[in-house]
């Protein structure tokens, strides 16, 4: 049995300010600031334990949009129903950790939708 410890990447916050964004693998934080429907793609991590938090940080709380976050190797590896989560409002967030073979969800806040 292997132990995996959380690893926080301290690169600058990646800002998702366009309709499509791909995680750069340099930071454990992505802030969504785009005021329209958007999509973020999260590829595989490089080090087991890497933690990633994605937060809806739009400046205009009154605007409605969905931010679909797709993990290329999602939770449970083969369950595509869990590969996408959606942030629907300001302050919502989701946190996941790379196990070395797939992402697992650690938690979420607000009205985050899975699947």
Q: Which of 1-5, 21-25, 101-105 has the highest mean pLDDT?
A: 21-25
Q: Is the pTM of this model over 0.85?
A: yes
Separation CA 45–CA 55 (nearest Å)? 19
Q: Look at residue 34 in the predicted model and tell me its pLDDT.
A: 86
Contact by Cβ (8 Å): 86, 68 = yes
Q: Please tell me the distance from the alpha carbon of residue 73 to that of residue 25, in angstroms, as a whole number.
A: 14
Rounded Cα gap, residues 114 and 91, in angstroms: 17
Spell out the domains of the chain, with CATH numbers in brackets: 7-114 (2.60.120)
Range of lowest pLDDT (9-18, 21-30, 61-70, 73-82)? 73-82
pLDDT of residue 111: 76
Distance CA 18, CA 36 (A): 9
CA-closest candidate to residue 28, choices 98, 79, 80, 101: 98
- CB under 8 Å to 70, separation ≥6 — which residues? 39, 40, 41, 42, 83, 84
Q: Which helix (H) or strand (E) holds 104?
A: strand 103-109
pLDDT tens string 86-107: 888 888 999 999 999 989 889 8
The Cα–Cα gap between 102 and 91 comes to: 26
Write the pLDDT tens digit of every residue in 38-68. Answer: 999 999 999 999 999 999 987 666 666 788 9
């Amino acid at each position: 049995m292997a132990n995996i410890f959380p690893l926080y990447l301290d690169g600058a916050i990646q800002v998702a300010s366009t309709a499509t964004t791909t995680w750069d693998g340099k930071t454990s934080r992505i802030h969504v600031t785009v005021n329209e429907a958007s999509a973020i793609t999260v590829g595989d991590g490089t080090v087991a334990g890497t933690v990633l938090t994605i937060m809806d940080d739009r400046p205009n709380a009154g605007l409605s949009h969905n931010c679909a976050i797709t993990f290329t190797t999602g939770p449970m590896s083969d369950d595509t129903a869990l590969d996408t989560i959606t942030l629907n409002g300001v302050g919502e967030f989701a946190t996941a950790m790379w196990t070395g073979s797939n992402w697992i969800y650690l938690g979420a806040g607000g009205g985050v939708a899975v699947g």
